[in-house]
Amino acid sequence: MKTNIALIGFMGTGKTAVGQDLAEKLDKKFIELDPLIEQKAGKTIPEIFSQDGEIAFRELEIEVTKEVAEGKNQVIACGGGVVLNKINIDRLRKESLIVYLTASPKIILERTSNDAEERPLLKAANPSLTIQELLRFRKPFYERAADIKINTSKLDIDAVVEQIIMKIKDNEGFNS
């Protein structure tokens, strides 16, 4: 029986905020992968990207995902690109129900526009176009990985959490 919930989706779809609330409501431990990656690297994600490159970041992401995926009774907020390496999803799937949070490109831009410094992939001349291109590329990866899909564009955190709880109760392979 799976006891974890892994939240996947593009940046700005609500994985952290929803994950914290969901973990509290379900009495599970909340884990966010990005701070664990920073801890392991001894530097921030923007520093990893600028000093070591995206490939080095993805390698750290694989290591951290492996460590976290083996735990139980967790809500895991994954980085937006965790789906790019199938090994991450295979590892998460063993103990986790995978919930894909989506949002429209416009909403994502609104939610992330103030934190471009923390989001290396948005340091672009046209962040709106970058978001659209990345979403187009990543969407099939998210879709393939997802057990449950929820659009957060017009929902507040509580409404998203309620939808997740309702949908996981319908899932026979999950033990809340």
- 136-158 pLDDT, tens digit per residue, is 999 999 999 999 999 999 999 99
pLDDT at 123: 73
d(CA 27, CA 12): 24
- Judged by DSSP in three states, 83 sits in helix
Mean per-residue pLDDT, 49-62? 94
pLDDT at 124: 73
Does the structure show a pLDDT above 90 at 170?
no
Does the structure show a pLDDT above 80 at 86?
yes
Q: Which class for 39: exposed (0-12), middle (13-18), buried (19 or more C-beta within 10 A)?
A: exposed
d(CA 1, CA 49): 37
What CATH class has 4-165? Answer: alpha beta
pTM (2 d.p.): 0.93
d(CA 89, CA 6): 9
d(CA 86, CA 58): 12
Helices (H), 27-126: 33-41, 45-47, 54-69, 86-95, 105-112
Does the structure show a pLDDT above 60 at 73?
yes
Does the structure show a pLDDT above 70 at 176?
no
Contacts of 47 (CB under 8 A, 6+ apart): 41
